[in-house]
Amino acid sequence: MQTSEAFRSFYEQELASLLTPLEEHRKKIKKGAVLGLVLLGISVLFFIIASSSKLSTPAIIAFILFLAAIITLVNYAMRLKKFTRTFKTEIVSRIMHFVDPSLRYSPEQYISETDYLKSGLFVEKPDRYKGDDYVEGLHGKTTFVFSELHTERRVSSGKNTHYQTIFKGLFFIADFNKHFSGRTYVWSERNPQINFLTKLFSSFAWNLEKVKLESKEFEDRFIVYSTDQVESRYILSPSFMERAVRLQRLMGDGVSLSFIDTNIYVAVPIREELFEPSVFSANDFSRLDDFRTTLVIVYDIMDELKLNDRLWTKE
C-alpha cells in the first residue's frame, strides 16, 4: 500500500498543478455562496423593517433582495455540483489510480438498494436512498465493490415531516474466502435497529436462529443470527472473531457484517462525507491525504479479515 510520503511526492508532481485552476474556481464559488447569504441576511433585515413601517419601499427592497439571494444561491448550488463533478474526475479518480491502478471509479454511481437490502444489515426499507463514489476493484484474489451510502426514514410528527438517518457511511461488498450456502448476520450490538421486535421478526420471517459464540469480547460487541448454526461457526472461526473485534476497534462500534451468497457485506458508519471536495476551505494536501486514508481503510478491512487467505478453501 502506498504511504503518505509517496503520496506527498505524487501530490506535488501531479495533483498540485491540477489543483491550481480548481482552487481558483472554488474561491469564486465560495464568493457566490457568501454573496447569497449576505443578500439573504439583508433581505431579512428589510422584511423586519417593512413589518414595522407603513411605507412600502422597504418591503419592495426586501422582496428584490430576497429574489436576488435565491438566484445567487441556486446558481451557487449548480456551480457547486459542476465543481464537485470536475474535482472527482480530475483529482479523486487520480488518487484512486495512485492507490491501486486496478480500481474503477464512478463518482455518481452507488451500490444498489437491492444489494443494500439483501445484505440484511439494516432491516427497514429506507424512504430516501442516496449515495455516490462507487468503486470496483480486485485485491489479490478478492473482488470487491464499495460506495458511500446515505439511507433515511421519513418521520412525521403532526404536520412536520423530516428524515432520520438509518445509515451513513461506507458500504462494502466482497467475495468471501469460504464457501457457504446459508445466511449469517453479525449485527453490531450498538445498532439501535436491532431491538426486541427486529429480533423477533428476524427469527420468524427470516428463519434465523441466534448463534451464541464462545468469545466474550465478540459477544459483547456483536449479535449473531444465522440460518445455519454450524455454518455460522465455520465462517466465524475463533481467529475471524478476533479479527472482527479488531475491525470494530479500528472503525468504531457501529460496524456490522453479513454473509450471504458467498459474499461478505460490511457497513462502516462514517459521519463525514467521503471523497467530497470542500468549498469553504482549501483542498490541500491534508484533505486529499484523508481521501487516500479512506481508501486504505477498505484495504485494511480486507487484510484484517484475511479475505485473501484462500490456501485451502475457495479459489
Give residues in contact with another protein (CB under 8 A): 140, 178, 212-214, 229-234, 237, 239, 306, 308-309, 311-313
Q: How far is the CB of 100 from another protein (least distance, A)?
A: 15
Q: Which is nearer to another protein, 21 or 140 (CB)?
A: 140
Q: How far is the CB of 99 from another protein (least distance, A)?
A: 18
Residue labelled with grid coordinates 459521519: 271
Q: How far is the CB of 247 from another protein (least distance, A)?
A: 16
Q: Which is nearer to another protein, 90 or 309 (CB)?
A: 309
Closest CA to 260 of 200, 315, 195, 178: 178
Q: Which is nearer to another protein, 241 or 288 (CB)?
A: 241
Burial of 35 (0-12, 13-18, 19+ CB in 10 A): middle
Cβ count within 10 A of residue 208: 22
Q: How far is the CB of 217 from another protein (least distance, A)?
A: 16
Q: Which is nearer to another protein, 136 or 228 (CB)?
A: 228
Q: Are 33 and 83 in contact (CB under 8 A)?
A: no
Q: Which is nearer to another protein, 5 or 315 (CB)?
A: 315
What's the rounded Cα separation, in Å, for the pair 291 and 274?
Answer: 7
Q: How far is the CB of 213 from another protein (least distance, A)?
A: 8
The number of C-alpha atoms within 13 Å of 178 and in the hemisphere containing its C-beta is: 16
Burial of 180 (0-12, 13-18, 19+ CB in 10 A): buried
Q: Are 220 and 253 in contact (CB under 8 A)?
A: no
